[in-house]
Structure 1
């Protein structure tokens, strides 16, 4: 991982042989350079949340950078999670607009491969690998955020499926997505972690109502989704009815461990690197220490990808990456704001830093608050 992109040669964009991570990283950089040169995107901080661009996702998919871990029989690349890690790290570091395919590629596809029926795999996976399907995740509710087992959205059995009613909040890009993967309680008499199921909700179905949740800095990434007696056919239940909790916990390993947890602010660092080379900015020792933390997180996240490739659980490691990653991002921004307070700097650097600072409060909340993650780590270590 480097702090700056250098112009690459003009070799054709194609995936290198499996296992050649250096060549894969170079191929991804060539794709990024071509996109930047042709105006394909403008680098953004927090681009896996703020950068929703279906056209970019289709181009990335055509280059082989979406659906990398999806088997070739379903239209994917059949690569490892470590190879996907390399690609996503480069795209995030470049501030590329990956949000349109991010959730589908990161956790929906693995969930379908593990729990989906043959029909579900054939229906959804090729479209995900082509960058054509956008998913939102429906877990949190007004009274079930950190305490996810308290979900109140109900699924009532009916002929051929389920009638689902309830409210989901903080649903990223539900106003733009095609489907919502929702956690619902299908057995109202069950205990907290039992009787939960996952269902695939067509966001254009009757009874689905989506309202914006606009952030304090004016961004509309989140939504409230109200499900009013929405019919979910049996073929849109993911996995086993009543085992949704176990499925969700497994998916969180994918959600929490990736490079998005420590590279959301990388575009700011890229501009700082340019300023250093131009002699306009002198890095502080504190910033250097935090950059060392970013490099350490790079290695930790890569190790999680190795474990996921071998089918191992990475609950502990993914929680640590997410916890330390989002803390590091905040510390990096504080150091930059302090260091840049004196002196004149480019408008681009100032604006990008301001954008990152405004987005910062959400870093430690999404995907599980830091308080919840500390509890998970403590429990696994036997401290509670």
Structure 2
């Protein structure tokens, strides 16, 4: 790692340590999805760490995807509350940068980088799930703009976000993948309703979004009309290829390692050592994906591989902690029991969000088939 990346890593670590020491947050599992604090995101923006890879002309930092990986890794290690800016920084900003018009870039990227605009994802639907080619939300031409009608579900932080990314059907074609288009939608627009979905722990970060003839200006189309399938497939590389698919349970892994540090049974040490070795391998894949992005590639299959392996790893962190320590999960407690409870409650979503395991394995298998032809 270069000196500038080492310096950046230390800066991010110092910031997270200061906020934690001041009692501004407590490390949690799944912090990138559940830990929402707009003031923390504003602090990140002041340091230039949101949109760090984007061109400076759009408010970005002009740095590499490896630099962004360093930032995200340190935030995930700390279990910091990053959900307010995570989606926009991770994939909506890069999608706008890759496919958006210069006007769309100027309108949104600087405000995302300043944490003045926050995004949620309008992809999944009740009848579609991870099969995005089955979405039924529609967008119809209306003069110089569009009208969107339909519903999206499992939308994290829609009740706190200023805007939504929405994948909608704008036409037909020979294949069901045809006729999809990506939009930016203002959640304050008339016709938008956000309904809460409360999880098993009683927390509210999921939502259902209803769109009833919602007006959207034409300039808020991302990329080409009807080319949404190709674009969203590449965009999912940003979503699936990050370390949040590997390190959501890192605070629990860290607490587990500390709990067995002294006088531990050899079997416990071996189990934790195996997890540490697997984590090192998964980090290497994430670094390779970041290098691919820096080279201008969209590593769709490599990202799917990381997400699939990360799903398995994160689930096994939780199972190992439960088996090795015998701790009783306690959602209202502190330390390892609380982190274990968080990991258990989050685990069912690991194999669904960002694409089900079956979808990911299909992508991986198709890639292998292409190699042997």
Counterparts of 1:313 and 1:347 in 2: how far apart (Å)?
41
Separation in structure 1 between the aligned mates of residue 213 and residue 320 of structure 2, nearest angstrom: 49
TM-score (norm 1): 0.91
Which position in structure 2 is the counterpart of 1:223? 207
Task: Say if 2:279 is the partner of 1:294.
Answer: yes
> What secondary structure does 2:121 align onto?
strand
- How far apart in 2 are the matches of 1:184 and 1:56? 32
Distance, in Å, in 2 between the alignment partners of 1:156 and 1:214 is: 32
Residue among 354, 358, 375 paired with 2:362: 375
Per-residue CA deviations over 1:244-266 (Å, capped at 9, x if unaligned) read 11110110000001000010001
Aligned to 1:15: none
Give the Cα separation in 2 of the matches to 1:163 and 1:19: 50
Choose which of 41, 49, 55 in structure 2 pairs with 1:71.
Answer: 55
1:327 counterpart = 2:344: no
Counterpart Cα distance in 2 of 1:344 and 1:203: 37
Q: Could you say which residue in structure 2 is the equivalent of 1:57?
A: 41
CA RMSD of aligned residues (A): 2.2
1:352 equivalent to 2:339? Answer: yes
Q: Structure 2 stretches of 5 or more lacking a match?
A: none
Residue 149 of structure 1: aligned partner? 133
* 1:171 has 2:155 as partner: yes
Q: What's the CA shift for 1:29? A: 1.1
**After the TM superposition, which of the residue ranges 248-257 and 206-215 deviates more from structure 2?**
206-215
Looking at structure 1, the residues matched to 124 and 59 of structure 2 have their Cα atoms a distance apart, in angstroms, of 31
Partner secondary structure for residue 131 of structure 1: coil
Residue 182 of structure 2 corresponds to which residue in structure 1? 198
- Checking the alignment, whether the CA contact within 8 Å between 2:329 and 2:338 is kept in structure 1 is no
Aligned residues of 2:172 and 2:178 also touching (Cα < 8 A): no
How far residue 284 of structure 1 moved from its aligned partner, in angstroms, is 3.7
Quote the Cα distance in structure 1 between the aligned partners of 2:139 and 2:281.
Answer: 43
Structure 1 residue matching 2:226: 3-state secondary structure: coil
Distance in 1 (alpha carbons) for counterparts of 2:175 and 2:109: 33
* Residues 29/195 of structure 1: CA separation in 2 closer, same or farther (3 Å cut): same
Per mean C-alpha deviation after superposition, the further-off stretch among 365-374 and 187-196 is 187-196
Give the conservation status (yes or no) of the 8 Å contact 1:70–1:129.
Answer: no
Cα gap change, 1:20 to 1:339, in 2 (>3 Å) = same
Instruction: Give the aligned partner of residue 7 of structure 1.
Output: none
Between the aligned partners of 1:165 and 1:145, the Cα distance in structure 2 is: 18
Q: Which residue of 1 aligns with 2:350?
A: 363
Aligned counterparts of 2:201 and 2:138: Cα–Cα separation in 1: 33
- Report the more deviating stretch, 51-60 or 33-42: 33-42
Aligned residues: 368
Secondary structure at the residue paired with 2:150? Answer: strand
Q: Does residue 314 of structure 1 match 2:299?
A: yes
Report the equivalent of 1:119: 103
- Please report how far the alpha carbon of residue 20 of structure 1 lies from its aligned counterpart in structure 2 after TM superposition: 2.0
TM-score by length of 2: 0.94
- 1:89 is aligned to 73
Instruction: Give the direction of change, closer, same or farther, for the CA distance of 1:342–1:125 in structure 2 (3 Å limit).
Output: closer
Structure 1 residue 38, shift from structure 2 partner: 2.0
In the TM superposition, residue 323 of structure 1 has moved relative to its aligned partner by 0.1
Aligned residue for 1:221, secondary structure, equals strand
